[in-house]
Amino acid sequence: FYSEVRKTSDVVESKEGGADKFIKGEVLDYSINLRTARPGTYIKIPYELTLTESLSDFWQSSFHSQDRIHTSTPFARALGLQDRVMPFSLVLFLTSAMSHEDSAKVQVGFGRCIYQWPVFAGDTVRKTFQVLSVRNTSDGNHSIIHFACNLINQRNRVCMSADKRLLFEFPVP
């Protein structure tokens, strides 16, 4: 499902004619070809992100929340949590953001968003997606792909799950 392109390492001499040599590294491309996606296709995104306090603070400065579970460490600890919980909107963004969204024309909708396990600064998260349905629009020029999205922490716990629909500018065969 991933089209992986590998370029082999090459030794390249400097252009100045000196004795210096450089190693030209390997390039990996994990592009996703959604034209071949079908219901049941499972997409495991190979990237991880360790969340930081600064990410949470930046998010809060842009999308302010009055909810003390996100803004107050003493309040979160009084509830029995280890620290402030990352905001729902940030965790939903992380759950649904995909490397192939750039090719989507528009996000059509979200559904069944469940914050299943708290996410804290210091957690490392990764994403998985499963294609639930694929269909063409009535004009036959676009497609709508319905995904089940999961955000998983370093302990393999699903922290958030959500359904998402995207409109793409290509029809599916």
pLDDT tens-digit series, residues 85-133: 999 999 999 998 865 666 788 888 889 999 999 999 999 999 999 999 9
Give the whole-angstrom CA distance, residue 169 versus residue 106.
Answer: 9
**How high is the pLDDT of residue 154?**
97
Contact 94, 125 (CB under 8 A): yes
DSSP assignment, residue 152?
A: E
Separation CA 119–CA 152 (nearest Å)? 10
- pLDDT at site 160: 97
pTM given for the model: 0.78
Q: Which of 11, 54, 45, 76 is nearest to 147 (CA)?
A: 45
Higher pLDDT, 155 or 13: 155
Cβ atoms of 87 and 159 closer than 8 Å = no
Q: What is the CB neighbour count within 10 angstroms for residue 147?
A: 23
pLDDT of 14? 52
pLDDT above 90 covers what percent of the chain?
Answer: 58
- pLDDT mean across residues, the chain: 84
Q: Which of 131, 161, 160, 154 is nearest to 144 (CA)?
A: 131
> What is the Cα–Cα distance from 122 to 120, expressed in whole angstroms?
6
What pLDDT, on a 0 to 100 scale, did the predictor assign at position 2?
A: 42
Cβ neighbours of residue 80 closer than 8 Å, sequence gap 6 or more: none
Q: What is the mean pLDDT of residues 7-26?
A: 56
pLDDT, position 7: 44
| Chain centroid, CA 23 distance in Å | 31
pLDDT for res 65: 82
